[in-house]
Structure 1
Amino acid sequence: MLDFTTDTFDHGVSSKATEQAPVNDQVLLDAYSNAVIGVTERVGPAVVRVETGPKVRTPGERGGLGSGIVISPDGLVLTNSHVVGSAKEIRLRDIEGVVTDARVLGVDPDTDLALLRANGARDLRYASLGNSKTLRRGQLVVAIGNPLGFESTVTAGVVSALGRSIRSISGRTIEDVIQTDAALNPGNSGGPLVSSKAEVIGINTAIINGAQGICFAVASNTAQFVLSEIIRHGYVRRAYIGVSGQTAPIPRRHAVLAGVDNKMGALVAQIEPDGPAAKAGLLPGDVVIKLDGVEINGVDDLIRVLDRDRIGKILAMDVLRMGRLRAIDIHPIERKPAGR
């Protein structure tokens, strides 16, 4: 009797759960769909197609194509620097097909970002930059752009990882990059990665050829910094010491002799004449292991430390020279972008 009652009870619970599951799934799917639809309706009109090159082309001549996001009603547009390149003619096409000429206010190849202004545009639909520091892995994100020329395409996914580093077209490392599995293709570059709050939390920048679901976006906080620097100076200010080098291992015996913990450092290969490094007495073959109190375990660390806050300051640098530790004072200067 007891066994029969138990079996009946278990069966009843199972049947009820089976009947309710489709209802619950439908509610979840509707919530997901409504979130994506809401984001698309709010941000989609602010996404533009970025076309570069002459309007009238000779046979065989090709122009560039990418995406951009309007971030102010007076026509400020964020996109990738590799979308703009060195183009002298740039056009923006909105969701309604209206074409507007644009000009470049500034580019930053080190973060693959560019700031444009739509000529004569006012009261445009625009999107707001959010705070990328509040992102969490697994969070819903939506990408909007023009992949392969298909305008106003929407894809959705999640934040796969945070704090990634990728190499920019200038060779510098872009820090704090967002990894997402929202499908991206050529043409999505420069378009927005958007949160469920309809805030732009990234600028889509790169895909890995041959891989599926591994795409990257420059974090909105980085974009906000670049935006403010370009508006203020026309370019992004960074410190410069006049060396080229590579990441190299530190022989164990050298580390023990010098009393340091570094296993890797930034090996100086070349030094620019009359640059800050040359004036400080740095020599080819020196291995930088610390700068301004920050441990240097490679070229990327050295580049990261040389930010705008260290321009014009005298910094303490520790280097290994022939296995012996040396302390050098160095005076970084402002690095001027090409063409200035």
Structure 2
Amino acid sequence: MSGVEALRWTEVIADAAERVGPSVVQLRRAAGPGGHPGVGSGIVVDEQGHILTNAHVVRGARRVTAALADGRTAEAQVLAADRPLDLALVRIRPLEGLRPAAFGDSAALRPGQLVIAVGNPYGLGWTVTLGVVSALNRSVPAGGTVLDGLIQTDAAINPGNSGGPLATLDGSVVGVTTVMLAGGQGIGFAIPAEDALSAFHQLRAWGRVVHPWLGIEAETEQIDAGLVRLFDLPASQGALVVRVLPGSPAERGGLRPFDLITAVGGRPVASAGALRHALRGCRPGETVPVDIVRGGRPRAPEIRGRGRPRGARNGRPPPRGAHGGRGGPAGGGASGP
């Protein structure tokens, strides 16, 4: 790369940071009883003062203070949070000159694409780091749940960055930074903008996120080679159903143990984590085609999902009388979408 080209790329990166920066806030949490003070980041979503951040940034907060990029501060109210997605919605009073972020198409990201992360690592203030999209559709255990469909990046994400934007070089926010791999270097993760915006609209309208639920347990990641041969499965990737809960949408739709789910609503499924992520694009009550392989033959039953019952996790039936509501994705070797 010539000196002129290097200078041009430097300007491109700096321009992207200047476009994103005014939409980034620092959030300081004053802890309630049994909690801990902390600092994180947030993204201004609209001129009404709504800010998107991570649920873990504001969890247990007695008071939250937002510091804008121009130095102004305001008290922030935590409106709602969703632990399974690690997203929360806070709001400050509308201030003159608030700069909502421009969100981009996270589904169009490709590994190797340059991105920047903007946030407040360790409470130091507005900080920009550069990296690439290392991988897509990662599943990562975090805070007693599993976050699915994440963007992996080597742009530095440190404590205090959580809730800040991951953006492309045109200044479009494509992710909300959330976790880093403990003990790893250059391994951080962000929630895709597509998922974050969907959660934002639900949190703002209803105060919660409704998670579509099928009522199954499914094998995660790679399916054992012996099972592939035994059940004549055409591939070793997908979500292999190992249990169908009685009375669940999956049972009513005709799913059986050892069906291999390869797509939901036209979205490819390569693992149980990918299945949970694909379900986010479905609305409870919506009838969705589910592509499966059974006995070596493709089928496409249509299943009408519903909101995840309270207490339904790891494929366990919900408590008697539970209905609707939220729940967390399962961890471990099997999971219960």
* Fold conserved between structures, TM > 0.5: yes
**Contact in 2 for aligned 1:288/1:317 (Cα 8 Å):** no
CA displacement, residues 146-173 of structure 1 (integer Å, 9 cap, x when unaligned): 1112111222x23233423122546344
Task: Tell me which of 178, 186, 193 is aligned to 1:213.
Answer: 186
Q: Which amino acid aligns with 1:44?
A: G
Task: Tell me which of 180, 188, 203 is aligned to 2:176.
Answer: 203
CA shift, 1:144, in A, is: 1.4
User: Aligned partners of 2:217 and 2:82: how far apart in 1?
Assistant: 20
User: Aligned partners of 1:281 and 1:34: how far apart in 2?
Assistant: 56
Please list every run of 5 or more consecutive structure 1 residues that lacks an aligned counterpart in the other structure: 1-20
**Contact in 2 for aligned 1:237/1:308 (Cα 8 Å):** no
Q: Which amino acid aligns with 1:287?
A: F
Q: Which amino acid aligns with 1:251?
A: L
Equivalent residue number for residue 76 of structure 1: 50
CA shift, 1:62, in A, is: 2.6
Greater shift, 41-50 or 184-193, is seen at 41-50
1:176-195 matches, cutoff 5 A: 177-195=150-168
Equivalent residue number for residue 251 of structure 1: 227
Equivalent residue number for residue 116 of structure 1: 90
CA shift, 1:300, in A, is: 2.8
**Contact in 2 for aligned 1:110/1:168 (Cα 8 Å):** no
User: Aligned partners of 1:206 and 1:34: how far apart in 2?
Assistant: 28
CA displacement, residues 196-235 of structure 1 (integer Å, 9 cap, x when unaligned): 2222222112222222222222222332222233334333
CA shift, 1:46, in A, is: 2.1
Task: Report the identity percentage.
Answer: 33
Equivalent residue number for residue 20 of structure 2: 43
Task: Tell me which of 35, 38, 54 is aligned to 1:64.
Answer: 38
Judged with a 3 Å threshold, the aligned counterparts in structure 2 of structure 1 residues 93 and 303 are, in CA distance, closer, same or farther, namely same
Equivalent residue number for residue 321 of structure 2: none
Greater shift, 161-170 or 64-73, is seen at 161-170
User: Aligned partners of 2:24 and 2:175: how far apart in 1?
Assistant: 13
Equivalent residue number for residue 11 of structure 1: none
Greater shift, 143-152 or 31-40, is seen at 31-40
Equivalent residue number for residue 29 of structure 1: 6
User: Aligned partners of 1:222 and 1:275: how far apart in 2?
Assistant: 25
CA displacement, residues 238-283 of structure 1 (integer Å, 9 cap, x when unaligned): 3223445544646356414xxx435475454684x76546777989
Please list every run of 5 or more consecutive structure 2 residues that lacks an aligned counterpart in the other structure: 309-324, 328-337
Equivalent residue number for residue 289 of structure 1: 260
Greater share of helix residues, 1 or 2?
Answer: 1
Equivalent residue number for residue 311 of structure 2: none
User: Aligned partners of 2:105 and 2:302: how far apart in 1?
Assistant: 37
**Contact in 1 for aligned 2:148/2:277 (Cα 8 Å):** no
CA RMSD of aligned residues (A): 3.9
User: Aligned partners of 1:62 and 1:131: how far apart in 2?
Assistant: 35
**Contact in 1 for aligned 2:41/2:164 (Cα 8 Å):** yes
Equivalent residue number for residue 145 of structure 1: 119
User: Aligned partners of 1:269 and 1:300: how far apart in 2?
Assistant: 16
Equivalent residue number for residue 126 of structure 1: 100
Q: Kindly indicate whether residue 200 of structure 2 is the aligned counterpart of residue 224 of structure 1.
A: no
Judged with a 3 Å threshold, the aligned counterparts in structure 2 of structure 1 residues 104 and 162 are, in CA distance, closer, same or farther, namely same
Equivalent residue number for residue 9 of structure 1: none
User: Aligned partners of 1:298 and 1:30: how far apart in 2?
Assistant: 43
User: Aligned partners of 1:135 and 1:277: how far apart in 2?
Assistant: 32
**Contact in 2 for aligned 1:93/1:99 (Cα 8 Å):** yes
Judged with a 3 Å threshold, the aligned counterparts in structure 2 of structure 1 residues 144 and 298 are, in CA distance, closer, same or farther, namely closer
SS in 2 for 1:89: strand
**Contact in 1 for aligned 2:264/2:275 (Cα 8 Å):** no
Judged with a 3 Å threshold, the aligned counterparts in structure 2 of structure 1 residues 305 and 288 are, in CA distance, closer, same or farther, namely farther
User: Aligned partners of 1:110 and 1:73: how far apart in 2?
Assistant: 27
Greater shift, 274-283 or 199-208, is seen at 274-283
Judged with a 3 Å threshold, the aligned counterparts in structure 2 of structure 1 residues 114 and 152 are, in CA distance, closer, same or farther, namely same
Q: Which amino acid aligns with 2:208?
A: Y
Task: Tell me which of 158, 161, 166 is aligned to 2:131.
Answer: 158
Judged with a 3 Å threshold, the aligned counterparts in structure 2 of structure 1 residues 129 and 154 are, in CA distance, closer, same or farther, namely same
